[in-house]
Amino acid sequence: KRVGVLISGTGTNLQSLIDATLDPSRGTGAEIVLVISNRPKVLGLTRAQKANIPTKVIPHTAYKSRLEFDMAMHSELMAAGIEIVCLAGFMRILTGDFVRLWRGRLINIHPALLPLFKGTHAHRQALEAGVRITGCTAHFVEEDIDSGAILVQESVQIELGDTEETLEERVKQAEHKVFPKALKLVATGKVYLNETGKLVWRQ
């Protein structure tokens, strides 16, 4: 399947997807053919270029509305024949129109065990709540932020003395395993989203 990845930053998750999809032994059934960033000059773009993946910068600041920005991305994705879109640290809220166009083909990674700690500052929320376990979630994207059917999760222990930074670092290790697994599930057709928004697993 032809995959497009949307990023805004350092792109360590993008790197995990690149590594997985370039390794034939992992059988992801996916090939990343386009990386779009809403910010210029971020490290994620360099990672894509190093892997010879075409990149596009679409600055959200150049558009009058969220919808126009989203539709500019949609056009690029369509032009590249993209079948699955991965949000890998993409820090813009997508419009309902965009989400509907890509429903069942749009995957996000969130640094907490959803449905807990939605939104930004997931690690801060986890530390403030005093939970001893957190983790990460790969899920299909629905209009409501950080909702949508869950594809893969992995738990991470919170250690004494953890800060937002140390926790983020440890959760990212888990994200880098979880996201490629989720992409493989979708790209190989092992799982899909039905009309009611529930996952269907193929035996």
Task: Give the active site residues.
Answer: 110
Q: How far is the CB of 124 from ligand GRF (least distance, A)?
A: 13
Nearer residue to ligand GRF within complex by CB, 39 or 103: 39
Residues 8-27 that bind ligand GRF (CB under 6 A): 9-14
Does position 173 interact with ligand GRF (CB under 6 A)? The reply is no
In this structure, the number of other CB atoms found within 10 A of the CB of residue 165 comes to: 9
Q: List the x/- string, 152-171, binding to ligand GRF by CB under 6 A.
A: --------------------
Does position 175 interact with ligand GRF (CB under 6 A)? The reply is yes
Judge contact between 141 and 116, C-beta under 8 A. no
| CA distance linking residue 1 with residue 3, whole number of Å | 6
CB within 8 Å of 111: residues ≥ 6 apart: 122, 123, 134, 136, 168, 171, 172, 175
The secondary structure of residue 77, as a DSSP letter, is H
In the chain the first and final C-alpha atoms are separated, in Å, by: 20
Piece of the chain touching ligand GRF by CB under 6 A; list 7-15, 46-54, 55-63, 98-106: 7-15
Nearer residue to ligand GRF within complex by CB, 51 or 192: 51
Nearer residue to ligand GRF within complex by CB, 68 or 128: 128
Residues that bind ligand GRF (CB under 6 A): 9-14, 44, 88-89, 109-111, 172, 175
